[in-house]
Amino acid sequence: MSIRFAIIGFGNIGRRHAGHILQNPHTQLVSVCDLNPEVQQSIPAGVSFFTDAAEMLRTIAADVLCVCTPNHLHMAHTIAGLEAGMQTVVEKPMALSVAECDKMIAAARATGKTIFAVKQNRYNPPVQEVKKLVDSGRLGKIFMIQVNCFWNRGDAYYAEGDWRGKKAKDGGCLFTQFSHFVDILYYLNGPVDSASGWVQNFAHQHNTEVEDTGSFVLKAANESIINFNFTTCAYQRNMEGSITIFAERGTVKIGGQYLNTIEYQQLEGEALPEINISAKANDYGRYQGSMSNHDKMIQNVVDALRNNMPVMTTAEEGRDVVKIIEQMYAGAIKV
């Protein structure tokens, strides 16, 4: 029997979830909820539609709820899904604070259901190659990591949704644009002990309440030093999203616009395969996001529920990523 999915929030990313649920031979889309009734026109035939989440959760029979609403609603909708007896997939960021993540984890434990945190960049082939390299111990001690996130977000992006750029609903660039990079940093190098840096809103004061640029120094629990630089002011288009690792027995840079290439490597022993994937960003029309790996995320839900395979990103890991973001904002001085 197919795994039955429901989606709450049918915007850019909700539609992407739907596409992959419809394509996967083991999954079925049974219901969609969105506050906006016009969304109903784009729902496939046979899929029920609701504008009220509580009514959908009371009415339908589904196994999994995908939470694709704006950031500030992730906690409430995830907990509602768990309490309705569904496994839940929650888009990034898992929530806007560690305290919210803790409540979500407590609800998962109380209901015996699983939270799948979406961090689809983990599936990027260059990320997987470097993950294997780091975990094998071949690199030796990691000394320093440089993370550069140089993207563009223009007025059209902020005009698309009333939550975007709002402190209480969006949280800031580290939550919305760059949490994937914080996640890959965490995935490859583990937790962070301390963070300090500077932030400023240079070019988005007319339409956002948050910073658009930041530069941080972090000390990781493994004692490596991390430089983390980000901006949404790259002129006219995304320029770079990269992570460079300087270690005892090698230097490696995952680069491209969204961690899609192995841009540089100088390693003791065998080289990593050359990887340069250029055509697979999530394209939202007026802006580009991360690599489009949501098909793999849906398949991970199938594998975990059907075959007891490990969850790619657990709720505890999603919480750890939010913790690093909190550490960074707590250590930030406004320029």
We find the least distance from the C-beta atom of residue 72 to ligand NAD, in angstroms, to be 9
Residues found in the chain: 335
Of 39 and 195, which has the nearer Cβ to ligand NAD?
A: 39
Of 174 and 218, which has the nearer Cβ to ligand NAD?
A: 174
We find the least distance from the C-beta atom of residue 332 to ligand NAD, in angstroms, to be 20
Of 171 and 250, which has the nearer Cβ to ligand NAD?
A: 171
We find the least distance from the C-beta atom of residue 69 to ligand NAD, in angstroms, to be 4
Of 241 and 250, which has the nearer Cβ to ligand NAD?
A: 241
Distances (CA, A) of 43 to 26, 86, 230, 293: 20, 21, 36, 22
Of 16 and 250, which has the nearer Cβ to ligand NAD?
A: 16
Residue 321: phi and psi, rounded to 5, are -70, -45
Three-state secondary-structure class, residue 107:
helix
Of 250 and 289, which has the nearer Cβ to ligand NAD?
A: 289
Of 34 and 320, which has the nearer Cβ to ligand NAD?
A: 34
Contact residues toward ligand NAD (CB under 6 A) are 8-14, 33-36, 39, 53, 68-71, 73, 91-92, 118, 120, 161, 176, 282, 289-290
92 touches 179 (CB < 8 A)? yes
We find the least distance from the C-beta atom of residue 190 to ligand NAD, in angstroms, to be 22
- Name every residue whose Cβ is closer than 8 Å to that of residue 284 and which is 6 or more positions away in sequence: 12
Q: What is the CA 285 to chain-centroid distance, rounded?
A: 19
Exposed e or buried b per residue across 110-119, where buried means at least 16 C-beta atoms within 10 angstroms of its C-beta: ebebbbbbbb
Q: Which residue has the tokens 């035939």?
A: 45
Our CA angle for 251, 254, 255, nearest 5°, is 125
d(CA 141, CA 222): 9
d(CA 316, CA 72): 18
Of 237 and 249, which has the nearer Cβ to ligand NAD?
A: 237
Please tell me what DSSP assigns to residue 42. Answer: G
We find the least distance from the C-beta atom of residue 290 to ligand NAD, in angstroms, to be 4
- Name every residue whose Cβ is closer than 8 Å to that of residue 255 and which is 6 or more positions away in sequence: 240, 241, 242, 244, 261, 262, 263, 264
We find the least distance from the C-beta atom of residue 74 to ligand NAD, in angstroms, to be 6
Return left, alpha or beta for 18; rule: phi > 0 is left, psi -120 to 50 is alpha, else beta.
alpha
Three-state secondary-structure class, residue 13:
helix
We find the least distance from the C-beta atom of residue 16 to ligand NAD, in angstroms, to be 8
Nearest to 217 by CA among 227, 204, 231: 227
Q: Which residue is nearest to ligand NAD (CB)?
A: 11
Of 76 and 225, which has the nearer Cβ to ligand NAD?
A: 76
We find the least distance from the C-beta atom of residue 132 to ligand NAD, in angstroms, to be 23
We find the least distance from the C-beta atom of residue 81 to ligand NAD, in angstroms, to be 12
Show the tokens assigned to 250. Answer: 């090698």
- Written as one letter, the residue type at 264 is Y
